Structure 1
Amino acid sequence: MTINNNYGVLLVNLGTPSEPTTAGVKQFLGDFLHDKRVVDMTRWLWCPILHGVILPIRSPKVAKLYQSVWMEDGSPLMVYSRRQQQTLQQTLNVPVVLGMTYGEPSIQSGLQQLQQQGCKRIVVLPLYPQYSATTTAAVFDRITKDLKKTSELPELRFINHYYDHPDYIAALAQSVDTFWAQKGQPDYLLCSYHGIPQRYADNGDPYPEHCHQTTVLLAQSLNMAREKMSMSYQSIFGREEWLKPYTEATIKSLAEKGIKRLDVMCPAFSVDCLETLEEIAEQCKEVFLEAGGKEFNLIPCLNDSPPHILMMESLIKQHTQGW
């Protein structure tokens, strides 16, 4: 094989079950919830709870939720991530492969594909705009673990975050403007971010600060009055206190205060997935309407939209200067 001294790109997202079945979800959740970056409890305490209680009870329920959003070509997260990978490869004209922290295609397979294509230099782009140890650092852990099996290490550049990147904020703002051009403006805009335990933030995880800054910059870009826009945290799990305010409680409160039309967007998610299409667009919509609201809209994630691909291209070129 001819050695290619150009760089390659590894796009990384969280992952998804391979199929919307109890078995598929159980395997995926088992891998995900075994990661100490995600759940840092002592293993001898956590593993019996995970395997004896959580996986048997949650897997059938979550499988039904996945079935409600499953697309013809797979889970939404995988379908949109594949589109991102294919479009970005055409745009950059360099090898771009997809790897998932949990499930398939794995990060290890992604690294192997790039090395088989002769890439001596690899830029890793975790598709998490706001850094968290539970997501971005988990990607780094997997990469270092997988590369222990490799004799010749590639030169790596790792993109830590892009929560305040001008092109990212512009892409978010353009998605909102496009949606409002079609639907009109709402009474209120809520930015819902995936939550993490409050304890993680207390121990130094900068995630909440990143989420706050994204929201501030987006409000400025939209010229949005802050009394008509705020942020919250979704996907709460377990009894431990997580970052507040919680999305569901916030949505209920807004309806009770007289907000009739609410638009919600999820800036921490690079693609639409179970947490946006089912948790927000279905569950939270129901909460809003039952509390007295009249119209509820989910503004789609950036997915493979041209502004999002442009942002990725800009980010990668910025981090590969000198290559």
Structure 2
Amino acid sequence: MSASATPPIDPASAAHRPAGHPPVRSGRLGVLLMNLGTPEATTYWPMRRYLKEFLSDRRVIETSRLVWWPLLNGIILSTRPSRKGRDYATIWNNELDEGPLKTITRSQAEQLAASLRETAGDRIVVDWSMRYGFPRTKDRIEALLAEGCDRILLVPLYPQYCAATSATACDQAFRALMDMRWQPAVRVAPPYHDDPVYIDAIVSSMRQELAKLTFEPEVILVSFHGIPEEYLKKGDPYYCHCHKTWRLMREAFGWPEERFRMSFQSRFGPDEWLKPYTDETVKELAASGVKRMAIVAPGFSADCLETLEELNGENRHYFEGGGGEHFAYLPCLNDSPEGMRVIRTVVERELQGWI
């Protein structure tokens, strides 16, 4: 992408505007990386605020409000914040006093900005936001507009589309646009679950991490975040996207299905969720005599509570407690060269025609 090859989107300047016209910045492109979110602290009240916002989202919990609201406000928000706060404390970035998801997403945005600046100059402004917590999507869209961005690319950092992740991130952006008199032109980057660049990056990263181990896993478990089965029946494509990602990864590795397994983690509540469940699969592997395993979570663009505490902590405990001897968690792509290659590929492709 060359900044000099394409003229400015809006060549108008103050000299062409009538006297007294309010100052307007325009002609730049905005890129907004959007991720899930993280609490502002691990103590009770910050955790409660975060969980309330998250669990009040109708995209996440589709149960009738008549049933869900008393449960959420009467039981869950009284007991869960303290427990989840202790979990977050085990992975907290104490140096920056923030969750790792925030640290990594910020770095992804900064690296993307620096990379695009090399070819597009200052025409592209990169920012980042969280669906729940801070920085808020509305604030960052307004900041992009203040920078003169009259075209904005929204990039949900979820390889596999799900209404409870990708859609709700876009909902939040669209709600912000509803309050604006002068809306920017907007595009939404599509899911990239089967993009060859993404698959290659995941497999390459896994091979690098496996090469560091002192053992060869008998089984690699590919764990995706779960959703209620009911969401699949309603038409959510998430399961199909996850299954295709897993299949393409397995084919790239060349391993048989019994050694390259797939599962779903983080179920919540009494309903049936997508199966097989990660925790039950890990326990089953240990009980069957598997002594060496690795686990990877390609559905997460950045490490967070569900990977660092749930997979590398809780499920490691299940495996080793059940007789397993060697367990390895393989990190997400994060802000690694492989991870940034995926993000830049998606962004450059979706900016075609704008630059």
TM-score class, shorter-chain normalisation, is over 0.9
CA contact (8 A) 1:195 1:234 kept: yes
The equivalent residue for 2:242 is 211
2:70 corresponds, among 41, 48, 51, to 48
- Distance, in Å, in 2 between the alignment partners of 1:117 and 1:309 is 24
2:320 corresponds, among 266, 289, 302, to 289
Match status 1:229 vs 2:260:
yes
Match of 1:135, SS?
A: helix
| CA shift for structure 1 position 258 | 1.6
Match status 1:81 vs 2:105:
yes
- Distance, in Å, in 2 between the alignment partners of 1:256 and 1:48 is 39
The equivalent residue for 2:36 is 14
CA contact (8 A) 1:136 1:160 kept: no
- Distance, in Å, in 1 between the alignment partners of 2:163 and 2:228 is 11
In percent, how many aligned pairs have the same letter? Answer: 39
The equivalent residue for 1:141 is 171
Match of 2:160, SS?
A: coil
Number of residue equivalences: 323
Match status 1:119 vs 2:149:
yes
Amino acid at match of 1:8: G
Normalization by structure 2: what TM-score? 0.89
| CA shift for structure 1 position 224 | 2.2
- Distance, in Å, in 1 between the alignment partners of 2:251 and 2:30 is 35
Match status 1:154 vs 2:210:
no
Match status 1:185 vs 2:238:
no
2:61 corresponds, among 27, 36, 39, to 39
1:222-261 aligned at under 5 Å gives the runs 222-261=253-292
Query: What per-residue deviation string (whole Å, max 9, x for no partner) do you get for residues 38-83 of structure 1?
Result: 0012223211110100011111100011111101211111111111
2:79 corresponds, among 30, 33, 57, to 57
| CA shift for structure 1 position 220 | 1.4
The equivalent residue for 1:168 is 198
Query: What per-residue deviation string (whole Å, max 9, x for no partner) do you get for residues 183-233 of structure 1?
Result: 153111000100000000011001000000000111112222222101100
Match status 1:27 vs 2:32:
no
| CA shift for structure 1 position 250 | 0.2
Match status 1:110 vs 2:134:
no
| CA shift for structure 1 position 2 | 6.5
1:99 corresponds, among 118, 121, 129, to 129
Q: CA RMSD in A?
A: 1.1
| CA shift for structure 1 position 29 | 0.5
The equivalent residue for 1:300 is 331
The equivalent residue for 2:353 is 322
CA contact (8 A) 2:25 2:146 kept: no
Based on CA coordinates, which of the two structures has the bigger radius of gyration?
2
Which one is further off, 57-66 or 217-226? Answer: 217-226
Match of 2:163, SS?
A: coil
Normalization by structure 1: what TM-score? 0.98
1:192-207 aligned at under 5 Å gives the runs 192-207=223-238
The equivalent residue for 2:114 is 90
- Distance, in Å, in 2 between the alignment partners of 1:322 and 1:238 is 45
- Distance, in Å, in 2 between the alignment partners of 1:222 and 1:33 is 37
Please, which runs of 5 or more residues in structure 2 have no aligned partner? 1-22, 118-123
